[in-house]
Structure 1
Amino acid sequence: MKMFAVDTHAHVFSKNDPCIATARYTPDYDASVAEYIAHLDQHHFTHGVLIQPSFFGTDNTAMLNAIAQYPERLKGIAVVDHTIHIDELVKLNQQGIVGIRLNLFGKELPDFTDQAWSTLLNHLSFMNWQIELHAPPAYLVQILPVLSPYKLNVVIDHFGRIDPVKGIADPDYQSFLNMLDANQHWIKVSAFYRLGQFPENIAVVAQAFNLLKEKGLMHKLIWGSDWPHTQHESKVSYSNVVDTFHKIVPNLKEQQQILGENTQKLFLF
């Protein structure tokens, strides 16, 4: 029997799927759910979480179709309009969606005090969904305090997106680390290659992992492959990111905790 293990961050798409007009990047190849499942099987992962890519905006169709093919193994994180009706959220919930993602790179910081936002955040809390943040540290330090009154899991992508130039010493990143609350926050130890020149930056990423551990967040760390590694496809493969994870987290028990126990608590597979 396979040991329970989850890849919490991957994307599926086809080059023929319609992208939004404002997309900062559009793929010229396919990343199919069958390919993704093959990667999971090859590396002994029992489950996966699909994340809505930014270039599809709020049209979650490709991801929902993929989950429908493997409903026992896959769940998803959607991108929605903040004015969405709860009936639509309930429908997404029935299709395997367990949270929403805010990708704020290249965007203005939303006004979370707006009535529509507070309604949405209350809906997420009611449904036991998570909110996933993909944002630079300068944004995270503004968002986390606003989300703290809500009873919901806040998942922070890719180590909190350490600035490749400023590194861990970046005052915003230090403030972010100091704001982390083990009662609410989860951190993905993922996408190492987006945080500086890879693989030279592995030492910095390992340092970040150790800092998170020191802050008592070991039980709130999860891992994702970030497959198919958009815009880094030529440098990184699925095997690469699994190997890098093992380098950053050499302790077998900690690896199993991050891939298994922690993800089970958050995603309830």
Structure 2
Amino acid sequence: MHQPATPSPALRQPDFTLPRGTCDTHCHILGPVNRFPYADSRPYTPAESDKTVLSALHERLGVDRTVIVQATVHGTDNRVVLDAIADRPHARRGVALIDADISDANLQVLHDGGIRAVRFGFIRHLWTPPEPATFHRLMERIALFGWHVLLHVDATGLDELQPMLDALPVPFVIDHMGRIDAAGGLEQPGFARLLEWAKRDHCWIKVSAIDRLSATGTPFADVAPFVRALIDASPDRLLWGTDFPHPNPRHPVADDADVVDVLPLCGDAGAMQKLLVDNPARLYGFIG
């Protein structure tokens, strides 16, 4: 049986005050399944966490803008994301999962509903990577809408994907800092390559899912040096996201205020303004 949507268990406001216009660029909505059923082929069955839960969390944290990423448990039925965007169309955008044979008309429906990117995975034990020719055709089609592609990929696998990435007609965003492991230190090969990729004009990186990257858990401070290094390498193409409600966490997140309170360890006010406000506004088309 699916668990019902419940309020966030978090109890406090963050110590760090987020700047006005802060955008959470990576969060999910799960259900309610009586309106938005999970896909039969879903990789796991999470508790419901509907749009009211997400809204309450963002109000408490001080988040003004949202990019909702379609959860794999909902498959390519993106109605749950479109429904949430429709509540606040000027402050919300979405990232869709799509089938290779999606029609032009349905792409237009997604665009009109606030979708600005599609997501694909290249981690074989979690995703079935798309066939290269099919993927490239889809990228050419989404380029017509001014979208980008969000890639769930290990940083250690970026070089293998270089021919495909170099041929992309759209910008690409690397999810979750390339899934590096903070325990490996700043000199780990995967992070060194991520820093090199970060300097490329068409590459963006998401500072998200820090609960998965941290080796120590709350307060996740061991991730901060990696974020600082990325800010030094590419301050204008970094994004931030909570990954709420934290599917498959490495360390339980009892309070997303802890995720916010890592931020002042990562950079000064100018760096935070770019990471939290200016960069996502530019990529996702937020105005004002």
Q: Determine if the TM-score, normalized by the shorter chain, exceeds 0.5.
A: yes
Aligned mates of 2:94, 2:272 — CA distance in 1: 23
When you count helix as a share of all residues, which structure comes out higher?
A: 1
Q: Which moved more, 1:120-129 or 1:133-142?
A: 133-142
SS in 1 for 2:158: helix
Could you tell me which residue of structure 1 aligns to residue 241 of structure 2? 224
Could you tell me which residue of structure 2 aligns to residue 190 of structure 1? 208
Runs of 4+ off more than 6 Å:
none
Q: How many residues align?
A: 263
Letter of the 1:260 partner, please give it: V
Matches within 5 A, 1:1-269: 3-14=20-31, 16=33, 17-28=36-47, 30-105=48-123, 106-112=126-132, 114=133, 116-163=134-181, 166=184, 168-199=186-217, 202-215=220-233, 217-232=234-249, 234-249=252-267, 251-269=268-286
Consecutive unaligned residues of structure 2, counting only runs of 5 or more, are 1-18
CA offsets 1:99-144 (integer angstroms, 9 cap, x no match): 10113342344332x1x32221111222110100112123333334
Shift of 1:73: 1.8
Letter of the 1:262 partner, please give it: N
Shift of 1:208: 1.6
Shift of 1:40: 2.0
Letter of the 1:10 partner, please give it: C
Shift of 1:191: 1.1
SS in 2 for 1:101: strand
Aligned mates of 2:155, 2:247 — CA distance in 1: 21
Q: TM-score, normalised by structure 1?
A: 0.87
Q: Which moved more, 1:240-249 or 1:89-98?
A: 240-249
CA offsets 1:125-169 (integer angstroms, 9 cap, x no match): 221101001121233333344122333121111111104664544
Aligned mates of 1:111, 1:173 — CA distance in 2: 27
Aligned mates of 2:143, 2:157 — CA distance in 1: 22
CA offsets 1:154-212 (integer angstroms, 9 cap, x no match): 11111111046645444344333323344101111111111133437945422222322
Q: Which moved more, 1:255-264 or 1:143-152?
A: 143-152
Aligned mates of 1:87, 1:195 — CA distance in 2: 39
Report if the CA contact (8 A) 1:9-1:226 is conserved: yes
Q: Call closer, same or farther: CA 1:237–1:194 in 2, change over 3 Å.
A: same
Report if the CA contact (8 A) 1:141-1:172 is conserved: no
Letter of the 2:20 partner, please give it: M
SS in 1 for 2:160: helix
Q: TM-score, normalised by structure 2?
A: 0.82
CA offsets 1:2-45 (integer angstroms, 9 cap, x no match): 822211111011263433344332112x2121221222222222
Aligned mates of 1:234, 1:183 — CA distance in 2: 35
Cα RMSD of the aligned pairs, angstroms, is 2.4
Report if the CA contact (8 A) 1:202-1:248 is conserved: no
Q: Call closer, same or farther: CA 1:173–1:82 in 2, change over 3 Å.
A: farther
Aligned mates of 1:158, 1:69 — CA distance in 2: 27
Aligned mates of 1:146, 1:104 — CA distance in 2: 12
Letter of the 2:42 partner, please give it: A
Consecutive unaligned residues of structure 1, counting only runs of 5 or more, are none
| Percent identity of paired positions between Structure 1 and Structure 2 | 28
Aligned mates of 1:44, 1:235 — CA distance in 2: 18
Shift of 1:83: 2.9
Q: Which moved more, 1:75-84 or 1:12-21?
A: 12-21
